């Protein structure tokens, strides 16, 4: 996922990435995509609303006026269910302010206010209990309902969370594909695919399809059955359909044009400086203890240096 999003800079990467049939340009792709990191990074001394205003100010096009930007921020807050927390300070994780689940939703909202076409999410449910994970995934599903594409990495989800997804990309150790395709209603298509493999035990009624899928496709099961699930997928009809679809989507449509932006960033350098100063002013104004320490520290250092060089200006 990091490779697709353009966040992976080390190692060896091969292959082609295309957007609507055109070769991917990271500078352009960064303008139409969002990335939600696993560790939420927010300024603790600004409110939820101010965090979204700051993000929209920097990322929305300069043609969008203040009233439209404010309306869009309000819509995003309603979408991710943050409206009741509009004036709450973000705070420090595990100390004060928002809970872990609320910070996850804020992370999603910060990317949504940029109005991206596709959003990448790195384990959005990690560190959350079942209730909090369900709330976050409801937010993800609401995002998909707006017409955006969401790509998530997720580990051993519950049955409710697993069946929220539409498509599954399952890999074994070494990055080899085991299954790439739709989940189906109640994971029916994934279950049908694996149960069609000779020797794979059938899923019991009420069992979590995600857990069952990982169990029957483990390396231990491969040795017991004497098969390689990567080879089975490589020779399957499902892969042939996926290859045909990739070939079709890899060619630009007639009359289409590649995405192009006149500027690298959405806003000018001056606007970026103003937005950063606005945010830093509010952060320092609310963090009185830090500001007081800096004030007295600066005064103390000034007195020390002043006393060291007292009456030395006229001497030779």
Give residue 304's pLDDT. Answer: 92
Q: Write down the pTM of the prediction.
A: 0.81
Give residue 315's pLDDT. Answer: 57
Give residue 12's pLDDT. Answer: 79
Give residue 314's pLDDT. Answer: 62
Residue 195 forms part of a structural domain:
no
Residue 147 forms part of a structural domain:
yes
The answer to whether 49 and 88 are in contact (CB under 8 A) is: no
Q: Determine what percent of the chain is predicted with pLDDT higher than 70.
A: 98
Strand pairing of 22-23 and 18-19? antiparallel
Residue 117 forms part of a structural domain:
yes
Give residue 180's pLDDT. Answer: 92
Residue 258 forms part of a structural domain:
no
CATH number for position 67: 3.40.50.300
Give residue 297's pLDDT. Answer: 93
Residue 162 forms part of a structural domain:
no
The answer to whether 178 and 170 are in contact (CB under 8 A) is: yes
Residue 315 forms part of a structural domain:
no
User: HEC profile for 131-192?
Assistant: HHHHHHHHHHHHHHHCCCEEEEECCCCCHHHHCCCCEEEEECCCCCEEEEEECCHHHHHHHH
Instruction: Count the domains in the chain.
Output: 1
Residue 100: which domain range?
34-155+268-285
Task: In whole angstroms, give the CA distance from residue 250 to residue 264.
Answer: 25
Give residue 23's pLDDT. Answer: 85
Residue 44 forms part of a structural domain:
yes
* pLDDT under 50: residue ranges of the chain: none
């Amino acid at each position: 996922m990091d490779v697709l999003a353009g966040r992976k800079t080390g190692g060896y990467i091969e292959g082609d990435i295309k957007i609507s049939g055109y070769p991917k340009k990271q500078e352009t792709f960064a303008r139409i995509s969002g990335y939600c990191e696993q560790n939420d990074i927010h300024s603790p001394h600004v409110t939820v609303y101010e965090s979204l205003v700051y993000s929209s100010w920097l990322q929305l096009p300069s043609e969008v006026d203040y009233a439209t930007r404010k309306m869009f921020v309000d819509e995003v807050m309603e979408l991710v269910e943050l409206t009741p927390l509009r004036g709450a300070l973000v705070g420090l994780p595990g100390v004060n302010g928002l809970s872990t689940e609320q910070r996850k939703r804020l992370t999603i909202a910060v990317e949504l206010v940029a109005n991206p076409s596709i959003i990448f999410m790195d384990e959005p449910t990690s560190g959350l209990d079942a209730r909090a994970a369900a709330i976050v995934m409801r937010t993800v599903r609401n995002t998909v309902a707006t017409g955006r594409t969401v790509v998530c990495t997720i580990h051993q989800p519950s049955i409710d969370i697993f069946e929220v997804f539409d498509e599954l990309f399952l890999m074994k150790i070494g990055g080899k594909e085991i299954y790439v395709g739709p989940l189906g209603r109640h994971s029916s298509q994934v279950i049908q695919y694996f149960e069609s493999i000779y020797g794979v035990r059938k899923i019991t009624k009420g069992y979590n399809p995600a857990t069952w899928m990982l169990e029957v496709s483990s390396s231990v099961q491969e040795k017991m059955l004497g098969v390689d699930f990567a080879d089975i997928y490589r020779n399957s009809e499902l892969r042939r359909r996926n290859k045909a679809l990739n070939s079709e989507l890899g060619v630009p449509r007639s009359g289409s044009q590649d995405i192009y932006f006149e500027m690298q960033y959405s806003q000018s350098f001056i606007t970026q400086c103003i937005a950063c100063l606005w945010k830093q002013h509010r952060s320092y104004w609310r963090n009185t203890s830090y500001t007081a320490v800096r004030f007295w520290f600066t005064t103390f250092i000034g007195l020390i240096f002043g006393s060291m060089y007292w009456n030395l200006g006229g001497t030779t």
